[in-house]
Amino acid sequence: MEKLTVNVSSEIGKLEGVIIHTPGAEVENMTPENAERALYSDILNLDVALPEYNNFLEVLKKSSRVFEVRDLLNDILQNEKVRQEVLERICESESLVDNDICRYVGSYGVDELSNQLIEGVEIKRDTLTRYLDNEHFCLHPLPNFFFTRDASFSVNDRVLIARMANRVRDREAIIMEMIFRYHPAFSTQITNPVESFDHTKKASIEGGDVLVARDDVLLIGTGMRTTSQGIDSVLEFLKEKPGTFHVIVQELPYKPESFIHLDMTFTFLDVDKCMVFEPLILGSNRFLTIHIKVDNGKVVSIKEEKNILTALKRLGIDLEPVYCGGENDITIMEREQWQSGANFFALEPGKVIGYARNTNTIEALNKHGFEIVTAKDIVKGKASIDDYKKVVVTIQGNELSRGGGGARCMTMPVARQEVKW
């Protein structure tokens, strides 16, 4: 297998490699009782969600090399030493070191082990205590894992491992770290900024909050999933690199839950276009936009900006906003933002993919020059993204969107071509 060199210096460069996770039994292992613990406000019907996801996946495969988490995990578990390290890391993280759970999980074959680490391990009712236990799983399922954006993220030639805000997702970050550390498909260096630089024990940072605007410019949201201490750890990481970097921090509301990450309110579409939830990103509100400059190992300035677009324009990135939900009705804007209407993923400059259900957002894109084509037509060969200068590929997301994320959330790019700004 030819190694893929990790390189992501923008959000829009032509996609060359991406990691995804097709949702499976772990999604159906959720119940109304445990959904909240799994960070869901609803439960998904896999039979409905999977056809939607498969159309999305097939579009990605027509544009890029696509890697499945489950396959990558299965590959690295073939190595006995790696297998033991993975199990030790997970058992330590989930406080199972002195529990015989790890012993019998470790006895699984490779295929079963990779599945169970994602889908969950049911409790064996072989003692009275376990018989009486209300829990169904001793190792809980990972129903959020199809949002591969969060547990790790690429910044230029590095993969940064996230510190998840909720412990129920820690195993996702461990699995992604082990994949990048040991899988022969990738050439990269790994950094866990929180583990390396944070001493407060208050730091968390997730990939949905981190957008690579340019090789020297990051946008990072701070809110319910990414703390200021988590961003400070990224600043410390940047201090170790030569040159000048700009970090534009956007404060996010803690409620409603649709503001979970920055990419639910702002995404890049083209060299001159972006998708915004206008009331937060451009409207007059109490949520600050802060510009931090790091130059050759030092933070040399921290200042408030009017908004993200103003800050980017000062840095030579001049973007025209397209409004999530259109421009006329705040209620429609709020409804479509809730349905991941601002969460688009770029296949290449000016060619993006998102949910069809957000009809006013899709119409706004069309008014800004984006042709509309369905994922089904792309998959069936009735159309090709190469046929268009600017296009939005629409996937049916009536069920997928209930998981609380969109196309960007479901992708972890590892390689993009450079962009000519």
190 found inside a domain: yes
With a cut of 50, say whether residue 177 has pLDDT above it: yes
Give the type of residue at 102.
C
Name the residue with higher pLDDT: 2 or 316: 316
CB-neighbour burial class of residue 2 (10 A; exposed 0-12, middle 13-18, buried 19+): exposed
Residue range 123-146: mean pLDDT, rounded: 83
Instruction: Tell me which residue range forms the domain holding 264.
Output: 4-75+141-416
Domain assignment of residue 65, yes or no? yes
Tell whether 83 is covered by a domain. Answer: no
Whether 104 is covered by a domain: the verdict is no
Is the confidence at residue 70, as pLDDT, over 90? yes
For residue 248, the Cα-to-chain-centroid distance in whole angstroms is 18
Question: What SS3 class is residue 22?
Answer: coil
Question: Is 19 in contact with 412 (CB distance < 8 Å)?
Answer: yes
> Does residue 63 form part of some domain?
yes
pTM of the model: 0.94
The answer to whether 358 and 341 have CB atoms below 8 angstroms apart is yes
For residue 17, what are the β-bridge partners?
Answer: 65, 415
- pLDDT for 28 beyond 90: no
Q: What is the mean pLDDT of residues 137-149?
A: 91
Tell me the per-residue pLDDT of 196-228, one tens digit each, with 9 for 90 and over.
999 999 999 999 999 999 999 999 999 999 999
Q: What is the pLDDT of residues 218-265, one digit of tens each?
A: 999 999 999 999 999 999 999 999 999 999 999 999 988 889 999 999
* Within a domain: 274: yes
Residue 102 lies in a domain: no
How many Å from the N-terminal Cα to the C-terminal Cα in the chain?
Answer: 33
Residue 227 belongs to domain with CATH number:
3.75.10.10
Average pLDDT, rounded, for the chain:
93
> Using one digit for the tens of pLDDT, what is the confidence trace for 274-321?
999 999 999 877 899 999 999 999 999 999 999 999 999 999 999 999
pLDDT, position 38: 47
Partner residues linked to 68 by β-bridges: 20
In a domain, 93, yes or no: no
Number of domains composing the chain: 1
CB of 257 closer than 8 Å to CB of 276 = no
Bin 398: left if φ > 0, else alpha if -120 < ψ < 50, else beta. Answer: alpha
